[in-house]
């Protein structure tokens, strides 16, 4: 068989009548890197899950040349176990009734060396960064010797250097005849690395491209027209708003070590950096969930460390970095989720009671303004696609005009159209006088929205660039910790 | 109703029938005798309702705490603390009339709350496990009661660890003559309605449910998880303590350390079967009460050991635990 995977006329209808796939055909050749692109809700993840054998199709056929490995978007690892334990879980080498730990470690070490995926077999998953966790997950799948590796949004949580390493691995696999099917929003990755590209929209294949195709042509096919332009930046006077002095927070490699930072009302300050240079500690310290030394002032008043409620009351709102773990109660309805954080203030609070009608009105307004695509306000947050969940969180943070908006990876893992909408809303908030602190691994995003970019390196500011001085070379040097001046 | 929601019930009925067959009796006959013993006439029904009330307080206490993500397995200890306080307060002022009853109920609520607050403080302030704390406090409550009633607070002429008998004015009013059915039942039902309201309509209930579902999300939304643990476990203990006080003032008319024979643990099952919704817990408590109060009749007339009922109660939890797997395998409509 020429194909590692061949699907024909695939149909998937979910309970409730939502048709996620509507007659999709797709062939992944042996040893090729194939990209599957599309907006949120286009059916990509459904197709990937069916191809991997994790979900049953309602109609059509799926043929695989061998087994298929699947690396889902959200890690599926046992956090408290070690890397080698996760890799062999379910297929443990035995000696009699006992687990042969030495053999298992050796197998993991051999796999790791063979595929160029550096992993410490004895590290606990919870201590590893996103890139290393993903490598563990890929090793686990490779241990089954698949003919095809399916990766859902593999670069969403990775720093640029880690993405490059991932694609090097995929190319090495391809050379050995192992095909990859990558589900992704990142069109630059697609154009640079994929040999063929299939674009889905609304459950159908709308275009097929060869590698090297112009990114804009792929984007047009995805959104079914031109990519929406961003909101205009209105020139405006800024005023002092939020200041950080001598911030020390967190521990280990990702700590913040003496950071000074100002965010003025009416500007977007982007924080760039390679993952693990203190972004998480900075975000948590500003959100009030991490203790710190140093000072933070909002409009001149010093904020107490470690009191999220006081910060919300002072007008700080957050788009958290991890929408499922930090942002949403997945079991709850849209309207309950949108009340979270403002439950102690009018109009949602009335005496001791929570005004459910006010909560619904607010939800209706947010859903409309942020184009959240959901069956109803009573739908569960878990039923929404990643992009719509992200719109929900941004909408919640901007439901009223905050003083300071902390936006962590505001468009990670979501499609071009939704990302453009959210970036426009951030710019509009800036135009309205909000101080916006945007922490993002995506440099292109910061180039689009930021008035200033501060580069974070080993927990301190390693360079600052005004909008008219954005330049990849100098920024890249600062990101790598080289002196930019 | 959700697709396949009937499956756990079906499994339960079949398992009950199977167990009855194994015991060498006719399942249909057993079921009839069970229901007759629980519901056949005013007196059996009253006794079933007495059981319902006794189960309802601890079950509501467990359900409320569990909605916030805290496992209170100490409802028995909180009931003992509450019952002891109620017994002491109710007997303290023999001439006080109805005030003695109110004092007894209030003292029971406060003492149960204090017992819950101990676990709440350990959890909220120091991050200790509330499961261990409430479990250990069960033992402590019994020992404390024995010590106090055997020593410093020994009632004149008492033979065991009991308080003096309560004056009749401190008894809960009986609703049905010649039965043990008292105001405890309406009190428990009102409490269930109040808790439902707190959970669905108040800011506190909203924050509590958020913390129960996703603590990290709640924390970032401004919920102080430490005070929430303290407040919720205190309230949970107060509910169980009030339950202990109703048993003392309504049934025993004096404190006895054995006032809560495992209600706190059956209460966990009732809370789970009731889906942690206060009104669902009311229905579950009634169902469990039917099993409890009908089991003796079933044993006597259908010759089925009443242990089959205990088996069914255990199976109810098992089927509930496997509900998701069962429902997932249910045929589509």
A37: closest CA of chain B, how far (Å): 31
For residue B160, the model assigns a pLDDT of 73
Confidence of residue B13 (pLDDT cuts 50, 70, 90): confident
The model carries a pTM of 0.80
Average pLDDT in the A443-450 region? Answer: 92
Among A153-157, A203-207, A327-331, B24-28, which stretch is predicted with the lowest mean pLDDT?
A153-157
Confidence of residue B314 (pLDDT cuts 50, 70, 90): confident
Average pLDDT in the B148-170 region? Answer: 80
Among A297-306, A348-357, A375-384, B4-13, which stretch is predicted with the lowest mean pLDDT?
B4-13
* pLDDT above 50 (res B333): no
- B135-173 in b/e form (b: 16+ CB < 10 A) is bebbeebbebbeebbeeebebeeeeebbbbbbbeebbbe
pLDDT 10s digits, A378-396: 999 988 888 899 999 999 9
Nearest residue, CB atoms, A352 vs list B204, B210, B216: B204
Most confident option among A85-89, A475-479, B249-253: B249-253
Chain B residue with CA closest to A317: the answer is B221
| Separation CA A426–CA A391 (nearest Å) | 12
* pLDDT above 90 (res B198): yes
Contact A312 B206 (CB under 8 A): no
For residue A92, the SS3 value is coil
pLDDT 10s digits, A27-39: 999 999 999 988 7
Among A276-285, B273-282, B315-324, which stretch is predicted with the lowest mean pLDDT?
B315-324
B4: closest CA of chain A, how far (Å): 14
What tokens appear for B317 in the block? 């939890």
* pLDDT above 70 (res B327): no
Pairing relationship of beta strands A148-152 and A68-71 according to DSSP bridges: parallel
CA atoms within 13 A on the CB side of A209: 26
What residues in chain B have their Cβ under 8 A from chain A's Cβ atoms? 201-207, 210, 213-214, 216-224
Check residue B302 and report its DSSP letter: H
Residues 332-371 of A with CB under 8 A from B: 332, 336, 339-341, 343-344, 349, 352-354, 356
* pLDDT above 90 (res A334): yes
Nearest residue, CB atoms, B222 vs list A320, A336, A344: A344
- In order of start, what are the domains of chain B with their CATH numbers? 1-23+305-333 (no CATH), 37-304 (1.10.3470)
For residue A206, the model assigns a pLDDT of 92
For residue A374, the model assigns a pLDDT of 86
For residue A484, the model assigns a pLDDT of 42
pLDDT 10s digits, B87-134: 999 988 877 788 999 999 999 999 999 999 999 999 999 989 999 999
pLDDT 10s digits, B260-278: 888 999 999 999 989 899 9
pLDDT 10s digits, A113-163: 888 888 899 999 988 888 888 899 999 998 888 999 999 888 877 777 788
Chain B residues near residue A331 by CB distance under 8 angstroms: 213
Q: What are the distances in angstroms from CA A436 to CA A408, A422, A431, B114?
A: 11, 13, 10, 46
List, in order, residues 6 or more apart from A449 with CB less than 8 Å away: A230, A268, A270, A423, A426, A427, A438
Best probe of the A interface among B199, B200, B219, B220, by most A CBs < 10 A, is B220
What tokens appear for B152 in the block? 């410093």
Nearest residue, CB atoms, B214 vs list A312, A329, A354: A329
Pairing relationship of beta strands A59-64 and A98-99 according to DSSP bridges: unpaired
Contact A328 B201 (CB under 8 A): no
Contact A353 B201 (CB under 8 A): yes
Contact A352 B202 (CB under 8 A): yes
* pLDDT above 90 (res A450): yes
What tokens appear for B137 in the block? 């406090």
What tokens appear for A256 in the block? 């913040």
- In order of start, what are the domains of chain A with their CATH numbers? 3-223 (3.40.50.300), 239-329+401-479 (3.40.50.300)
Average pLDDT in the A28-54 region? Answer: 89
Average pLDDT in the B251-263 region? Answer: 89
* pLDDT above 60 (res B330): no
For residue B255, the SS3 value is coil
A198 phi and psi angles, rounded to 5 deg: -115, 130
Instruction: Give the DSSP H/E element, type plus range, for residue A337.
Output: helix A334-339
* pLDDT above 50 (res A66): yes
For residue A317, the model assigns a pLDDT of 97
* pLDDT above 70 (res A398): yes
Confidence of residue B329 (pLDDT cuts 50, 70, 90): low
Chain B residues near residue A341 by CB distance under 8 angstroms: 220-222
For residue A485, the model assigns a pLDDT of 43
Confidence of residue B332 (pLDDT cuts 50, 70, 90): very low
| Separation CA A372–CA A374 (nearest Å) | 6
Q: Which residue has the higher pLDDT, B165 or B161?
A: B165
For residue B149, the model assigns a pLDDT of 86
Q: Which residue has the higher pLDDT, B324 or B235?
A: B235
Nearest residue, CB atoms, A318 vs list B205, B206, B220: B220
Residue A331, Ramachandran bin (φ over 0: left; ψ between -120 and 50: alpha; else beta): alpha
| Separation CA A62–CA B122 (nearest Å) | 55
For chain B, give the percent of residues with pLDDT over 90: 58
* pLDDT above 70 (res A13): yes
Q: Which residue spans within A65-174 are E strands per DSSP?
A: 68-71, 94-95, 98-99, 148-152
For residue B1, the model assigns a pLDDT of 43
Nearest residue, CB atoms, B207 vs list A308, A318, A343: A343
Confidence of residue A43 (pLDDT cuts 50, 70, 90): confident
Best probe of the B interface among A332, A343, A344, A360, by most B CBs < 10 A, is A343
For residue B4, the model assigns a pLDDT of 57
């Amino acid at each position: 068989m020429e194909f590692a995977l061949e699907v024909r006329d695939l149909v998937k209808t979910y309970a409730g009548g939502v048709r996620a796939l509507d007659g999709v055909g797709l062939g992944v050749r042996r040893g090729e890197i194939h990209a599957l692109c599309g907006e949120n809700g286009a059916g990509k993840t459904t197709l990937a899950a069916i191809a991997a054998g994790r979900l049953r199709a309602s109609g059509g056929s799926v043929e695989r040349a061998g087994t298929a490995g699947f690396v889902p978007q959200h890690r599926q690892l046992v956090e408290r176990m070690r890397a080698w334990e996760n890799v062999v879980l379910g297929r443990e080498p035995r000696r009699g009734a006992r687990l042969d730990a030495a053999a298992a470690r050796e197998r993991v070490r051999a796999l790791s060396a063979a595929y160029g995926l550096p992993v410490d077999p004895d590290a606990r998953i919870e201590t590893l960064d996103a890139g290393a966790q993903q490598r563990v997950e890929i090793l686990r799948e490779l241990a089954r010797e698949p003919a095809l590796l399916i990766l859902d949004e593999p670069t969403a949580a990775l720093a640029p250097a880690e993405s490059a390493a991932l694609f090097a691995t995929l190319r090495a696999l391809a050379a050995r005849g192992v095909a990859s099917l990558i589900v992704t929003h990142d069109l630059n990755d697609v154009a640079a690395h994929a040999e063929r590209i299939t674009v889905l929209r609304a459950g159908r294949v709308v275009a097929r491209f060869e590698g090297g195709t112009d990114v804009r042509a792929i984007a047009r096919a995805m959104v079914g027209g031109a990519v929406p332009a961003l909101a205009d930046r209105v020139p405006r006077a800024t005023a002092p708003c939020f200041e950080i002095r001598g911030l020390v927070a967190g521990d280990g490699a990702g700590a913040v070590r003496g950071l000074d930072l100002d965010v003025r009302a009416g500007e977007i300050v982007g924080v760039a950096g390679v993952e693990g240079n203190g972004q998480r500690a900075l975000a948590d310290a500003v959100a009030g969930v991490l203790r710190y030394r140093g000072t933070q002032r909002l409009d001149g008043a010093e904020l107490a460390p470690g009191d999220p409620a006081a910060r919300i009351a002072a007008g700080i709102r957050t788009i958290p970095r991890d929408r499922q773990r930090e942002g949403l109660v997945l079991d709850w309805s849209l309207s309950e989720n949108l009340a979270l954080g403002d439950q102690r203030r009018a109009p949602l609070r009335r005496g001791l009671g929570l005004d459910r009608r006010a909560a619904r009105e607010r939800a209706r307004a947010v859903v409309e303004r942020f184009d959240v695509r959901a069956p109803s306000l009573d739908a569960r947050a878990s039923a929404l696609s990643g992009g719509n969940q992200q719109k929900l969180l941004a909408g919640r943070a901007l439901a009223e005009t905050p003083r300071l908006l902390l936006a962590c990876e505001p468009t990670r893992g979501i499609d071009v159209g939704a990302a453009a909408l959210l970036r426009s809303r951030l710019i509009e908030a800036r135009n309205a006088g909000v101080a916006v602190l945007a922490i993002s691994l995506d440099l292109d995003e910061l180039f689009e929205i930021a008035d200033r970019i501060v580069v974070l390196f080993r927990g301190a500011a390693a360079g600052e660039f005004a909008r008219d001085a954005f330049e990849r070379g100098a920024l890249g040097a600062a990101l790598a910790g080289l002196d930019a001046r | 109703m959700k697709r396949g929601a009937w499956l756990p019930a079906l499994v339960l009925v079949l398992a009950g029938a199977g167990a009855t067959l194994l015991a060498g009796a006719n399942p249909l006959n057993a079921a009839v005798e069970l229901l007759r013993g629980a519901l056949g006439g005013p007196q059996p029904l009253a006794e079933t309702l007495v059981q319902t009330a006794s189960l309802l307080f601890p079950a509501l206490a467990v359900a409320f705490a569990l909605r916030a993500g805290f496992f209170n397995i100490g409802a028995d200890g909180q009931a003992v603390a509450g019952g002891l306080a109620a017994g002491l307060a109710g007997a303290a002022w023999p001439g006080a009339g109805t005030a003695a009853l109110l004092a007894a109920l209030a003292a029971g609520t406060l003492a149960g709350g204090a017992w819950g607050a101990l676990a709440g403080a350990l959890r909220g302030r120091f991050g200790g496990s509330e499961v261990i704390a409430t479990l250990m406090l069960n033992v402590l409550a019994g020992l404390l009661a024995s010590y106090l009633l055997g020593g410093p607070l020994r009632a004149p002429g008492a033979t065991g660890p009991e308080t003096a008998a309560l004056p009749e004015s401190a008894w809960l009013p009986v609703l049905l003559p010649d039965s043990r059915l008292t105001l405890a039942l309406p009190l428990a039902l009102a409490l269930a309605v109040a808790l439902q309201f707190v959970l669905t309509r108040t800011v506190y209930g909203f924050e509590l449910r958020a913390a129960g579902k996703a603590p990290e999300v709640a924390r970032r939304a401004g919920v102080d998880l430490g005070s929430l643990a303290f407040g919720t476990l205190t309230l949970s203990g107060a509910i169980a303590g009030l339950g202990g006080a109703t048993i003392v003032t309504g049934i025993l008319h004096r404190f006895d350390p054995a006032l809560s024979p495992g209600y706190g643990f059956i209460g966990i099952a009732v809370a789970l079967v009731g889906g942690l919704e206060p009104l669902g817990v009311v229905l579950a408590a009634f169902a469990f009460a039917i099993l409890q109060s009908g089991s003796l009749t079933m044993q006597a007339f259908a010759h089925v050991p009443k242990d089959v009922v205990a088996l069914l109660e255990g199976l109810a939890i098992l089927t509930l635990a496997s509900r998701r797997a069962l429902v997932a395998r249910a045929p589509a409509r």
